[in-house]
A and B are shown apart, each in its own frame.
Chain A
Amino acid sequence: MTELEAGRADRLAPVRSVAALQRYRDVLIALIAFAVLASLPLFTDSKALLDFVIRCSAYGLFATSLNLLVGYTGLTSFGHGMFFGLGAYSFGLIMQKLGLPIPVAFVATLAITAVVATVIGAICVRLKEIYFAFVTLAFQMLIHSTILSWASFTGGDQGLRGGIPRPAFLGINLADHVHLYVASCALLILGLLAMRQIAQSPFGYTLRMIRDNAARASFLGIDVWRAKLTVFVLAALFASMGGMVMALFVSGAYPEFAYWTISGEGIFINMLGGVSTFLGPMVGTVLLLLLNDTVTRFTEYHGIVLGVVILFFALGLRKGLLDFVAEWFSQRRGAGEGR
């Protein structure tokens, strides 16, 4: 905001303040959400509820980051779970083998993820649609197989056992359940806020242009390949964050974290919650975990129930839950203005 811009502010002012207001609004919502979540342990002793929120944090970060690819860029990755697994394993291994402070391990894991995602992304984002989906899936299988067969390093099909050391730092002791809970909530909220910023930045609109019409975007001077690679790496970072939350939660890392079904669940969550709104995947995460927990309690055939739910959303609503709600609201508003 220079002096010069301030000079011709009258026409620009309203728009600029709208953009600024949106940002403040998002931060405000995030603060309120965090305050509500963080104060939950004051009102309840239910360990199960706190565990549920921690799992929602891990999966929510993962699913929302997948939506940056699927919903915003039109890149349907079937291998996004590899970064969830990579995050969990890198973090666990660093803590077990090197015993670094947790924040250092956290940053180091993000760095490792960035490097791996850049290499894999550089190969994948040249491809389109189904080819992209399959090659990402192939890389997922590759990472999973590596974890299984490199047993001396990764523990093979047993996973990282013996627990992940969680030394206290800055007065935060993640071995304590409530501390872990609050830290997970903080990571979730910060991650969501960062992803929201990405989605609403000029880069976020570049992604939408690529999703709608990549060829046209390149005729506007946009380097489509570079933009796709950038979002691929950014999304991987947040998925990795989710993996780290998971590793902290279970105090270990298991090959299932890197199996393709994690990616499948991510896609499923996005279908449940909807990809046209930012919070759709978060809603989907809560729905899926609720479904999982309740259905598995009543029947061993939970796969059938989940399948029916998928069919209902895919064939019945033809969109995710939050898509449905958002559409309903905009239609009502449209009808209200029209009359």
Chain B
Amino acid sequence: MLEIRNLAKSFGGVKATNDVSLDFLDGSLTAVIGPNGAGKSTFFNLITGALKPDSGEVLLGGVDLAGRSPPEIVRHGIGRAFQVASIFKSLTVQETMLAAVSADQLSSAVLHKRFPLPETRDRAEHVMELLGLAGKRNRTAATLSHGDQKLLDIALALVLEPKVLLLDEPTAGMGPEERWRMIDRVRELWETQKITVIFIEHDMDIVFKIAPKIVVLCYGRILATGTPDEIRNNSAVIEAYLGTEHAGAAA
């Protein structure tokens, strides 16, 4: 279980994350929503080590990871994908996957053997199949479509076999149809891989449709947590974020 305890981070006088405590059960799927500047990405950055929290704990299986470096946190099993696809533009899809598995198997500093190592093969193959990238294995990452670059970014996180997967807006910058394809993929991953998935999403239709649990952030605080129905009818959420449209549709 991933437990966040009283996590806090300020930039100057702005409390970007303000006393956030949350539990994410093993194998759960949670959406994090909130208006722009609510501290969603900061929240992810604190969990993954990109930023050091001012105070609080990030407990994964009882081990406190708060303030540790990204490589350490990744090794403990928290993987992430980025809002803007973060990939290696000159490597092919296959090389990217193989190199990532090498990193996970602690063979990224091996000098005396040739790349790729045979033992990295299966895992790379498996994840490429899983995300439908196998047909594009020899394409250089820079030449992939935007959607495929996002998939490659997720594949990079997934190939490390994380216990917890954080997806920062997996559908950012996509057209409506592509969005649904992507989010179906995410849902499928969650169902087949039995990992804890937490994702940030702006499209409310998507959130209410697929997330069993929703966390609403606002000004760095937790405004509400609950099932889609609870969130839809929460008056504070409606006032701060949703407006009346979704509430009306639910009523």
A11 to B110, CA, bound (A): 23
Beta-carbon contact of A197 and B103 below 8 Å: no
A92 to B233, CA, bound (A): 82
Give the chain B neighbours of A191 by CB distance below 8 A: none
Beta-carbon contact of A203 and B99 below 8 Å: no
> Which of A12, A22, A203, A227 has its CB near the most chain B CB atoms (within 10 A)?
A203
| 8 Å CB interface, B17-33 against A | none
Q: Nearest Cβ in chain B — how far from A19, in angstroms? A: 4
Q: Nearest Cβ in chain A — how far from B111, in angstroms? A: 5
Segment among B2-10, B89-97, B201-209 that sits at the interface with chain A = B89-97
Q: Is A220 an interface residue (CB 8 A)?
A: yes
| 8 Å CB interface, B72-120 against A | 74-75, 79-80, 82, 86-91, 95, 98-100, 102-104, 107-119
Segment among A102-110, A115-123, A206-214 that sits at the interface with chain B = A206-214
Q: Is B227 an interface residue (CB 8 A)?
A: no
Contact of B102 among A19, A23, A206 (CB under 8 A): A206
Q: Is B173 an interface residue (CB 8 A)?
A: no
Contact of B103 among A200, A213, A221 (CB under 8 A): A221
- Do A15 and B74 contact each other (CB < 8 Å), given the known contacts A205-B95, A208-B88, A216-B86? no
Beta-carbon contact of B118 and A212 below 8 Å: no
| 8 Å CB interface, A140-195 against B | none
Give the chain B neighbours of A230 by CB distance below 8 A: 109
Q: Is A202 an interface residue (CB 8 A)?
A: yes
Beta-carbon contact of B116 and A206 below 8 Å: no
Q: Is B35 an interface residue (CB 8 A)?
A: no
Q: Nearest Cβ in chain B — how far from A229, in angstroms? A: 11
Give the chain B neighbours of A294 by CB distance below 8 A: none
Beta-carbon contact of A205 and B91 below 8 Å: yes
Q: Is B69 an interface residue (CB 8 A)?
A: yes
A179 to B115, CA, bound (A): 36
Beta-carbon contact of B115 and A200 below 8 Å: yes
Beta-carbon contact of B114 and A22 below 8 Å: yes
- Do A203 and B91 contact each other (CB < 8 Å), given the known contacts A11-B121, A216-B86, A221-B74? no
Q: Nearest Cβ in chain A — how far from B154, in angstroms? A: 12
Q: Is B41 an interface residue (CB 8 A)?
A: no
Give the chain A neighbours of B90 by CB distance below 8 A: 208, 211-212
Q: Is A296 an interface residue (CB 8 A)?
A: no
> Which of B90, B91, B109, B121 has its CB near the most chain A CB atoms (within 10 A)?
B109
Closest A residue to B70 by CB, please name it: A218
Closest B residue to A26 by CB, please name it: B114
A190 to B118, CA, bound (A): 26
A15 to B94, CA, bound (A): 12
Contact of A222 among B82, B108, B111, B121 (CB under 8 A): B108
| 8 Å CB interface, B148-178 against A | 156-157, 160
Beta-carbon contact of A202 and B89 below 8 Å: no
Beta-carbon contact of A197 and B116 below 8 Å: no
Closest A residue to B103 by CB, please name it: A220
Beta-carbon contact of A213 and B118 below 8 Å: no
Total interface residues in chain B, CB < 8 Å: 41
Beta-carbon contact of B118 and A15 below 8 Å: yes
Q: Nearest Cβ in chain B — how far from A70, in angstroms? A: 14
A12 to B113, CA, bound (A): 16
Q: Is B196 an interface residue (CB 8 A)?
A: no
Beta-carbon contact of A219 and B113 below 8 Å: no
Contact of A200 among B74, B109, B114, B119 (CB under 8 A): B114
Closest B residue to A211 by CB, please name it: B90
Q: Is B71 an interface residue (CB 8 A)?
A: yes
Q: Nearest Cβ in chain A — how far from B52, in angstroms? A: 14
Give the chain A neighbours of B104 by CB distance below 8 A: 220-221
| 8 Å CB interface, A223-253 against B | 223, 226-227, 230
Beta-carbon contact of A222 and B91 below 8 Å: no
A214 to B236, CA, bound (A): 41
Contact of A202 among B48, B80, B115 (CB under 8 A): B115
A218 to B86, CA, bound (A): 12
Closest A residue to B91 by CB, please name it: A208
Q: Nearest Cβ in chain A — how far from B178, in angstroms? A: 23
Q: Nearest Cβ in chain B — how far from A268, in angstroms? A: 23
Q: Nearest Cβ in chain B — how far from A40, in angstroms? A: 31
Interface flags for B36-63 (1: CB within 8 Å of A; 0: not) read 0000000000001010000000000000
A218 to B75, CA, bound (A): 11
A208 to B86, CA, bound (A): 14
Q: Is A198 an interface residue (CB 8 A)?
A: yes
Q: Nearest Cβ in chain B — how far from A1, in angstroms? A: 8
Q: Nearest Cβ in chain A — how far from B116, in angstroms? A: 7
Closest B residue to A209 by CB, please name it: B88
Question: Which residues from chain A sit less than 8 Å from chain B, CB to CB?
Answer: 1, 5, 11-12, 15-16, 19-20, 22-23, 197-198, 200-206, 208-209, 211-213, 215-223, 226-227, 230
Between A and B, 9 residue pairs with Cβ closer than 8 Å are A11-B121, A16-B118, A201-B113, A205-B98, A206-B109, A220-B156, A221-B71, A221-B74, A222-B103
* Pairs of residues from A and B, 7 with the lowest C-beta to C-beta distance, nearest first: A212-B88, A19-B114, A221-B74, A220-B103, A206-B108, A205-B99, A216-B86
Given contacts A205-B98, A219-B79, A220-B103, 17 further A-B pairs with CB under 8 A are A19-B115, A197-B114, A202-B108, A205-B108, A206-B99, A206-B102, A209-B88, A209-B91, A211-B90, A212-B87, A212-B90, A213-B86, A216-B86, A216-B88, A219-B50, A219-B70, A221-B104
